[in-house]
Amino acid sequence: MRLDRFLSNLPRFSRKEVRLVLLAGRVRVDGQTIKDPLHDVREFSHITLDDQTLQTAKPARYLMLHKPPGCVSATTDPQHPTVLDLLDEPDKHELHIAGRLDFNTSGLMIITNDGQWSRRLTQPTTKLAKVYYVETEQEIGAHYLEKFAQGFYFAFEDLTTLPAQLTLLDSHHARLSIVEGRYHQVKRMFGFFNNKVLGLHREHMGPLALDPALEPGQYRPLTPEEIGLI
């Protein structure tokens, strides 16, 4: 939100008064005097007028979770455990999931309260690759590679998927890199060949890789370096 809009939303200020207090250098954001009305402020910004606090900075939180199978990518569910149930964190209801996984899909999941950051990670326009380890019921043939690179037509959405990179590991295992997240996309891709996906595990989301030290159900905060990658 723009700083002038934030101040205008407070009942104590008119638009004219907002301009005056900014020009007078009376407003500080995260310790810095800000006169620019277009300065971007967020829920994590500490904002003061003179010596009075207008907004207390909320700490930004970024968690990497190794999601186990049989867990719902949701904040609440009446029948199944959710990924938030795995967290021992204060105010975890304020967190959201950046890039959901299906019920029986395991692997890397990011949970945060930073909406701008998570949008950069997940929105299709950024085209950050999501990498999955795939196990199938039937043999994966070499002819799969060209089709994955071409894309699959999904009649329900009336669209063709973006090119994906499939790497064969052995007869029934592959590594798949995609830049989309359509509904059951990986299963539907292999379903084109009538080949059922038995196991699906997300290893990467863009530059973020699942920490091999995390067991299923475990999580840890992202490092400053990892946060800065997005």
Active site residue ranges: 102
Neighbours of 89 (CB within 10 A): 15
Buried b (16+ CB within 10 A) or exposed e, 140-162: beeebbeebeeebebeeeeeebe
75 to each of 14, 51, 88, 96, how far by Cα in Å?
39, 38, 14, 7
Tokens coding 27 = 């407003």
Alpha helices in 68-184 (DSSP H): 115-122, 144-150
DSSP-derived letter for residue 18 is H
Please give the angle made by the CA atoms of 146, 151 and 154, to the nearest 5 degrees: 140
Count of residues making up the chain: 230
DSSP-derived letter for residue 69 is S
